Structure 1
Amino acid sequence: ALYVKQVYLEMSSDSWEVGCFSFQIGLEANWKILQMFELEEMELYFSCRDTDFFVLSGRLRAGGAELALEIRKAGEFQIAGYMLNTEAVPLEGFLKGIGIPSENLPQIGLEELRFSCVPEENIYSFSAGVDWQVSPDDLWQFEGVLAAFSLEAEKKGEVWKTDVEISGKVRFHSYAFQIKMQLGEQTRLWLTLLDDPAVFRLQEFIRKLGYEEFVLPEGLDLALRELTLAYDFSEDKLEFLTVLEQGALYFRSDLEEETAGKRRYFLAVKIDGEIDLAGLPVIGRILAGDGTASIGDFMLTAASEEIEELSLGGMEVPMPVQKGLTFLVSLRLQSETRLLRIVLGQTKSEVLKKDIGEASEGFGQLQLGCQIGPVYLQGIGIAYKDGAFQVNLTASLRGSGLFFELEGLFAEYRLSDHTVHFGLQGIELEFKTAMVEAGGGFVNEGNDAFAGTLLISAAGLSLSAIGACQTGRDPSVFAFASLRGLRFGPPCFQVTEIAAGMGCSRSILIPPVEELEEFPLIQVVQGKEELEGLLSQVDRLFPAQKKSSWIAAGIGADCFRMADAVVIAILQLGTSDVFDLLGRAQIEIPHRAPEPAARASLLIKLTVDPEQGNIPIDGVLGSDSYVLSRNCHLSGGFSFYLWYGGEHRGDFVISLGGYHARYQRPEHYPSPQRLKLSWQLCPELYVGGSLYFALTPSAVMAGGDFQMDFTWKCVKAWFHAYVDILMCWKPYAYDFSVGISLGVNVNLSLFKLHFELGCSLSIWGPDFSGKACIHLWIISFTISFGHGQKKSQTISIEEFRESFLSSSSEEKRLAETGEEKGEFKGIDLTFTDGLIGDRQAEETSGKTVNAQRLQIQVVSNVPLTSLRFDQQEALKSAEENIWLRPCGEKVSPGMSVTVERIDQTPVQGSWHQELIWERVPSALWAPSEWQEETMECCTGLKIRVEQPGGYRGLCFTAACREEEEECLLPAPEERPFVEYDQTQAYELLGGITDPKQTEKRATLFEHFGGDSIDLSGFGEPREIFRIAPVLARIGGKRDG
């Protein structure tokens, strides 16, 4: 019921005449409309002209919101209202006020609420801005909310249907989302990701939602295409609806249920992909056959606890679901599908149901035990690591005496790009018949590296081989083979084993002589180590190195069945060529007895490196050397070094066991260990001794010592003896020392007893002199004899010449002719190139040479201080004199070289000269205060004919053949040197030396000579070519 409160009438004479009037009525009672809203303070304004018009206004109160409402009739009804509240109205209170149930809503306020209605359609709407207030404990930590509220009510018959929602955009944990929230009896929230899915980090996002324990497998890259979050406020349930590039993802959490204060969750990721096993090497096509052999249906599950049953609505997940991370994989083979489970993040293996397979940390496996054709499958294992599934199969092939074991047969499926890679790490081969047995295999070591072995046995012989290669950007190859079971050769050296090896783009690390006993190549040839054991050391012993290669060959031998010997020769090729000779010899008495009475092993190493300019030979006794007893050890070494180039050219040293104690060893000399015998007969008695010998350009030395010590309680007894010899070259100077000492020492508690008898003898000369020392425990005295002073005696220059200045060419000539030795000129002359032969004539004799290639070397046995060539000074030394140390005199040696014809006329031409520098022994040519073993001096001269440059020749062409009165040929320009292929020159030489051609030339020369001159001999090839012909154009390079 409505009660009129006030009536206002407005009318004029003009309006009355046209039938227009209006009035306003104030209504006192409230009017309830829509069965949920009430109008207060209503007013009705009515106007009547040509059509009816009225306006009903008032205040509308709904759920704490106050709106100004106006109902207008102007042809059609129009109902609209706007909010009068100055502060936001809580959403939850507003919905309850209008009769819409809502619970557990976030703190959301409505701003600028508006109302509208379409009476003809019975549709009523509210719209407002949203003020989303965030509390610290709220799950939805939204930022930058740009959303709107809408409520739409529609009456169908007597039933009202309402649709309430919030929509817009928000930022949630730094990501942009499209938000949609439906409110009512079942309130739900949807968040759709707006950012690029490629930058979305799923694991980080879920952890920020409060799931701190949630973790994805390492390396798993989920390529999202879209992401939508769904949350049910009534059930407090959170779900993810996600589409992947290859698969789908489902996440669910019941927030109201917690375990130990942690939220429960479940994640399932289905990955679309398949590994077709037909692509496997060797056996792939056999496995596939006419059917399907594949691995697929990859699924990842993650759960906060074990789940027995769960309805996912659309995604099938095998139950039960284990706690933590688990991968599920399906194997389809021979029309049968089996499931494997891979458990991640556990510390021990777990065995699940048989139809699931065995599961352990990061690995799942199935025992198959089936045969498909010649292929026998023992089992299959699947592992997950770094974003990839790796399938490993244990398989073999059998048939016709052959057995192949496939090692490391695998297929890899990468989740990042969904690519499949197949591989085979190795193959083992076994073949066996009545006559031959063979076995071997190869292995893929990764990074394009392969290694393999081979063993063949037949007729008592055994061939073993290993190899390794590196492909790819830096290829390299290594191989080594050994043939055993041999026995051939004389009894003194019967070969029992042959070995050979090579390395391309690989170097070889050769140890020092002391470590040769443990060198794997030595041990392999000895039979102490199998070749297979060498494969694990390939990269350490033979590292890859560009532009470096080596070849090796070795033998093992048996000498009179008493000694075993191993020799290995190695040639290294690279920036410098190095030759190494390694050896080990061992003698046992009795030979190869379990406990021989004596054993001695010797290790030898020879290295020739042209860049070092020396030839070093080192040897050492092996650590297992002994005599009579294993407690009687033998040790020591020897060295022989010869320098032919470099700083120490001309120097040498031979040393067995080291040097004299007073000898100052140069730094570049080796230092071998003393040759020692050390024998601990018993705890009380020790016997030992040592020896040494050394030869240098300045001295020779030798010596040794022997000792025997006895210790028992308070009693000590000893016997010591020694001898040392040091001798210099001519003039001979020697120093000889020998000594002996024996004694007893008794240490009692009250007193000590000491008895000692010793003597020593020192002899030097010439002249023969020395002294003897006698030492008793009560007195010591010395007896001197001879001159008593050490001094050196010089020799004459004639003696020096006869002893040290020998010429190899002169001695050779005297030995051939039987002439007596006459005056020696002190030089050696050698033709290093261009020599054709000797020519003997009636009056003269000499050498026939090719003048164009002539090279001569003139070397003096005396260091030179001056040298002249063709009356020109070639050397002027800063040192004006050279010492003759054995003579104690200074000399100034000089040499003059002149090239003349046989008639003693000078040779006109251009010569190239080069001085020869060598290191000579300082014991012969240096003053006594010189400290080094050698000194560098000029000793000779190399001369050769200067090669002519390009020269001019006539250029005769076809134009010159024209019939003209005069043809003037221009002189062409000089041509540069050009290299030519000389193969054709040797082919031409073969035709010229043919006997048939020789016979034809002889006939021609016979006719050319007529009756007076015999030219038939000029047809012989030896008269045509003194040396091999060189093919070149005029002006080209002619020295081939």
Structure 2
Amino acid sequence: MKNDAESALENKVELFAEFEVYEARFRIVLQKNKEVGVKVSGHWVNTDYTFVFSKLARYFDIELPKFFDFELFIKKVELSYASNQSELAFFARIKGFGDLKLDSSLLSDINQRRYSISLDFNQTLYLKQIPIIGQFCYDTDGFHFESIALDYLPHQNVVFKFLSKLIIMNTELPINAKYEKRLTERLMNEQQDKTICWLDVNKAFSVLYLSRIGVMLDGSDGDSRIYLFLDASFSISKVRFDFYELYISTSLKNLKDISFGLSGLLVSLNTSAFSLSGGLYKTNDDFYNGTLSLKIGTFSLDALASYGELKGSNEKSFFAFCMISVPIGGPPFFYVNGFALGFGINRSIVLPELNKIAQFPLVAAARGESKEISAKSEPNKVLTTLNQYIKPESGQYFATAGIKFLTFGILESFALLSIEFGNSTKVSLLGLSTATMPPLSKYDQSIIFAELALKATFDPEQGELLIMAALTDRSFLFHPDCKLTGGFAVGFWYKGDYSGDFIVTIGGVHHPDFINIHYPTIPKLGISWIINNNTSVKGSGYFALTPSCIMAGIDIALTFELGNLRAWLSAGAQFLIAWKPFFYDVNLYVSVGASYSLKILWSRVTFKIELGANLHIWGPEFSGTARISWFIISFTISFGANSSQTRPNIQWNEFVESFIPDAVDKKNVQSNSTSIHNQFSADVNKISISNGLIMQILEEHDADQHIIDIVDGFRLLINIESQLPFSKMSFVHEDDSYGLEGNKFGIPPMGLQDVNIELEVTLSKADSNDVISLDSKEEDTSSNFIIQPIVKNAPAALWGNSPITLNSSLMNLPFGITISSNTDKSNKNTIPKEGKYSESDLLDHEIIPRGCNYTVPDHIPEETFPDDPKRIIEALEETIINNDYQKNILLLTHDIFDTESTMKLTSLDKNAKSVLFAVPKLRTIGSKQTYA
């Protein structure tokens, strides 16, 4: 058995030593026992050395966030380390602050340390130092800090805590702020997200009113600062000043470094004759946003504006929007009582969805219904609202105009027309109309309230024209619980993925078998009324017309509930008519029933009685089924031809007459022929010259007239377009041919797949009919021509390679080719036909470069030319006429082409400066010209 002395030796061991950290000597005690394991404790004994806490932390591999990694000069420090829990603790007395405590423990599950730091911060920021507001404060008023604390896990999260109090006019308000932030690797080095912790105050102190106070710790820009924000206001007579994010800050590195700032200011003046208010707000990205409002009697003016510089390019970005409400007058159906104007530079408009037009800030503000944008709006709230819809964008501009009018004293409307241009072009019209009964009554006083939102857009780049309108969710009939819904849309697409598509609908596209991919979403025409606590009724309907079909539907439901008793009546119908092939499908249903729930012992049992009928009709040939459902029996009755519900196929003659009537020769169309060869008309393929056409000559030969096209062979571009897609292109040359395969397609209305339609192209000489070689290998520079397919969107309902469905979309198919010359595109002169050039011929095809570079040929020695403008003009006037080299060229071309043998220049040789737009550059004849 061990005695007490032996147990004491076994449980506790102590060692004393000294060591140095950056020349600072520490005295340490090393202890070992079962409770804490190995524990190292130490304190600083060298009082002559100026010690910095950040250096001490780095020595022990302690990670500090950038905003806390600053110099804290230590007057006294103690530290300890316990091995069992891997706990590290510091205590230090900091010069200019107070006590600092740091505790760190190792999280064994993630093998990472968590740190907790607290720092006494006995510092006061006096309100007397703040401009303007300081005049209304006592000398002792200010923010009195007590401590700053943070608890953080490196690279993951950090929790800030501020303990302070506000003393103002002998009133003490505690301010204890706490907020958490996620950290990333980047934020460990630089605090980017400047989060402000706001505390509501809402107290008045004489003429000064504090609405809220904010606290922020910022470590960006290599500094560590504490910010205190004030949202405050004061009133003098009838003038009120509102300050937004007025702040005072101090640096933790230098407590005497105090700065001030202001994010927003609102000034308002209210008298019996008029009211005036205006505000300005500055964002973190240096954008200034503001509002201005003036009201005199029935006249009112509201303006919104924003100004700033785009990041990276330093381009100025600006927009302004002005709304004027004043009775202007007009006929009863169009009585104007206000208008709006606006424009934007390096700004773009994000158009709202149809159901959000009423909340669109430019519409809501013009109608006086915007809570965020009004005469009393805070500039920062205006900024938040506007930034969602009007965004800075380099190279984009817009202009907008709106008008507010009244129709017959019943219908209030506002329409806003916007035109965007620059990077992209778009024209849009947004509108909102409200009708009430009694006329112009308030929402809660109306028996009928209908609000219609309108949105029309024209996008020439996307090839889209859309006109949409829908009732908003505020619309009701007789009672706000009796909701009205519905809208209409008209859309056309002439370019892009949906070229050739269209939609005309009232109530949207809602057939259960139709999947809406790109058509606008429009609510059904309907009514939903909760009559009382027991009874409700719903009804809805729609109609839609698309390139492939027409559809419509209607549904009605009546429900009664009283306790455990429930009764219902529902009925509806769905109609679908498709064409080519003609097909129809109709579904009608009705259901009447009742149920009662009864609790028996520990379970609930529901008794249900229901009688329903469903009628399904389709064709051709006329067929259908009728199903009767009763709670005790159900059965189905079939009638008609009992044909398949798949669509029947049509014949070739019916297909071409319906879809491509101009593409075939009706005399040669054979209704039951499986081959369509030699049945096409001369108009099926059209040939045009889209580039390189110089002139057209009308030739007559034996009473026949035909036009000859004179083309520039270097810029020649021929388009061959067909009304039919093709699966293969063949270019014939003697006994060989070159082909290009297209996409596989079929003719679904005829039930055909993998249809073979071949486009054959032959280019021959006019005088000998010799075939000219065609070669589409673009990389072969010796080829005469480059061949490219013309790809268009085609409806899959006509040309798809699978059976036709309601959801047949569009597909890309070749409908032609382009033939362009594959020759050197450098400038070459065309010899004039009549012996001389006209001015229009010279200017017609001239390429005017932005700049020119010249390379002197090797066989011509380089010559130095004058750069002085005056000397250049003199040299030009001396040599433009008296030039032997020029005379030889003129005589040579005169002998061969019968052109003019002399140059007739009346002014260029005598007063060249008056003829030329700019001073030319003189270079050696024969130099190669390249365009910059």
TM-score range, shorter-chain basis? 0.5 to 0.7
The Cα shift of 1:629 comes to: 2.5
Letter in 2 for 1:724: Q
The Cα shift of 1:733 comes to: 0.9
Aligned to 1:244: none
Equivalent residues in 2 for 1:852-863, closer than 5 Å: 854-863=716-725
Q: 1:502 to 1:398 in 2, by over 3 A?
A: same
Letter in 1 for 2:300: S
Aligned to 1:950: 826
The one-character-per-residue Cα deviations of 1:582-629 (angstroms, maximum 9, x if unpaired) are 444443344432233333334455667788776666655321122232
The Cα shift of 1:779 comes to: 7.7
Q: 1:579 to 1:914 in 2, by over 3 A?
A: farther
Work out whether 1:481 is the aligned partner of 2:331: no
Distance 1:723 1:392 in 2: 63
Equivalent residues in 2 for 1:748-767, closer than 5 Å: 759-767=613-621
The Cα shift of 1:467 comes to: 2.6
Aligned to 2:791: 917
Is the 1:978–1:1036 Cα contact (8 Å) retained in structure 2? no
Aligned to 2:167: 349
Distance 2:344 2:354 in 1: 22
The one-character-per-residue Cα deviations of 1:105-142 (angstroms, maximum 9, x if unpaired) are xxxxxxxxxxxxxxxxxxxxxxxxxxxxx9xxxxxx99
List gaps (5 residues or longer) in structure 2. 1-16, 18-23, 28-41, 56-70, 80-90, 101-120, 148-161, 176-204, 218-223, 667-679, 774-783, 831-846, 853-897, 905-916
Distance 1:783 1:733 in 2: 22
Q: 1:951 to 1:740 in 2, by over 3 A?
A: closer
Letter in 2 for 1:521: L
Choose which of 533, 537, 552 in structure 2 pairs with 1:702: 552
Work out whether 1:769 is the aligned partner of 2:623: yes
Distance 1:425 1:660 in 2: 50
Choose which of 932, 939, 944 in structure 1 pairs with 2:815: 939
Q: CA RMSD in A?
A: 6.4
Is the 2:792–2:814 Cα contact (8 Å) retained in structure 1? yes
Q: 1:735 to 1:483 in 2, by over 3 A?
A: same
The Cα shift of 1:713 comes to: 5.8
Aligned to 1:520: 361
Aligned to 1:560: 407
Q: 1:276 to 1:269 in 2, by over 3 A?
A: closer
Aligned to 2:186: none
- 713-722 vs 592-601, which moves further: 713-722
The Cα shift of 1:721 comes to: 2.2
Is the 1:636–1:674 Cα contact (8 Å) retained in structure 2? yes
CA radius of gyration, larger in: 1
Choose which of 429, 432, 435 in structure 2 pairs with 1:587: 435
Q: 1:387 to 1:795 in 2, by over 3 A?
A: closer
The one-character-per-residue Cα deviations of 1:682-714 (angstroms, maximum 9, x if unpaired) are 233322122133444433321111222334567
The one-character-per-residue Cα deviations of 1:406-427 (angstroms, maximum 9, x if unpaired) are 9888998879396786766556
Aligned to 1:724: 574
Give SS of 2:725's match. Answer: strand
Give SS of 2:474's match. Answer: coil
Is the 2:743–2:813 Cα contact (8 Å) retained in structure 1? no
Aligned to 1:826: 684
The Cα shift of 1:922 comes to: 2.1
Work out whether 1:867 is the aligned partner of 2:697: no
Distance 1:735 1:592 in 2: 46
The Cα shift of 1:844 comes to: 2.5
Choose which of 756, 760, 776 in structure 2 pairs with 1:896: 760
The Cα shift of 1:804 comes to: 0.5
Identity, % of aligned positions: 24
Give SS of 2:254's match. Answer: coil
Q: 1:898 to 1:555 in 2, by over 3 A?
A: farther
Distance 1:749 1:142 in 2: 84
Distance 1:472 1:841 in 2: 61
Letter in 2 for 1:764: W
Distance 1:470 1:439 in 2: 22
Letter in 1 for 2:705: T
Equivalent residues in 2 for 1:201-216, closer than 5 Å: 204-205=75-76
Aligned to 1:800: 655
Give SS of 2:364's match. Answer: helix
Q: 1:856 to 1:761 in 2, by over 3 A?
A: same
Aligned to 2:535: 685
Distance 1:877 1:466 in 2: 58
Distance 2:123 2:650 in 1: 103
- TM-score, normalised with respect to structure 1: 0.50
Letter in 1 for 2:167: S
The one-character-per-residue Cα deviations of 1:225-272 (angstroms, maximum 9, x if unpaired) are xxxxxxxxxxxxxxxxxxxxxxxxxxxxxxxxxxxxxxxxxx99999x
The Cα shift of 1:665 comes to: 1.7
Distance 1:663 1:269 in 2: 72
Q: 1:349 to 1:557 in 2, by over 3 A?
A: closer
Is the 1:952–1:1035 Cα contact (8 Å) retained in structure 2? no
Larger RCO (CA under 8 A, 6+ residues apart)? 2
Distance 2:250 2:165 in 1: 25
The Cα shift of 1:755 comes to: 7.9
The Cα shift of 1:941 comes to: 1.6
Distance 1:324 1:894 in 2: 87
Letter in 2 for 1:803: S
The Cα shift of 1:558 comes to: 3.2
Aligned to 1:986: none
Is the 1:885–1:926 Cα contact (8 Å) retained in structure 2? no
Is the 1:882–1:893 Cα contact (8 Å) retained in structure 2? no
Equivalent residues in 2 for 1:613-628, closer than 5 Å: 620-628=470-478
The one-character-per-residue Cα deviations of 1:940-959 (angstroms, maximum 9, x if unpaired) are 123345564336899xxxxx
The Cα shift of 1:351 comes to: 6.0
Distance 1:299 1:683 in 2: 59
Letter in 2 for 1:588: T
Aligned to 1:598: 448
Work out whether 1:635 is the aligned partner of 2:506: no
Q: 1:559 to 1:920 in 2, by over 3 A?
A: farther
List gaps (5 residues or longer) in structure 1. 1-133, 135-140, 145-171, 178-192, 222-266, 288-294, 303-322, 326-343, 353-357, 370-375, 812-821, 955-976, 983-1012, 1020-1028
Distance 2:290 2:437 in 1: 39
Distance 2:255 2:510 in 1: 75
Aligned to 1:454: 292
The one-character-per-residue Cα deviations of 1:367-393 (angstroms, maximum 9, x if unpaired) are 999xxxxxx9xxxx9x99988999999
The one-character-per-residue Cα deviations of 1:641-684 (angstroms, maximum 9, x if unpaired) are 65656655555555555556551526566665544321122233
Q: 1:202 to 1:863 in 2, by over 3 A?
A: closer
Letter in 2 for 1:485: S
Give SS of 2:724's match. Answer: strand
Is the 1:654–1:695 Cα contact (8 Å) retained in structure 2? yes
Aligned length: 664
Q: 1:899 to 1:620 in 2, by over 3 A?
A: farther
Is the 1:461–1:483 Cα contact (8 Å) retained in structure 2? no
Work out whether 1:929 is the aligned partner of 2:803: yes
Give SS of 1:536's match. Answer: helix
Distance 2:689 2:799 in 1: 28
Is the 1:774–1:782 Cα contact (8 Å) retained in structure 2? yes
Give SS of 1:917's match. Answer: strand
- TM-score, normalised with respect to structure 2: 0.55
Distance 1:585 1:835 in 2: 53
Letter in 2 for 1:454: L
Equivalent residues in 2 for 1:329-340, closer than 5 Å: none
Is the 1:403–1:429 Cα contact (8 Å) retained in structure 2? yes
Letter in 2 for 1:827: N
Letter in 1 for 2:573: V
Aligned to 2:383: 538
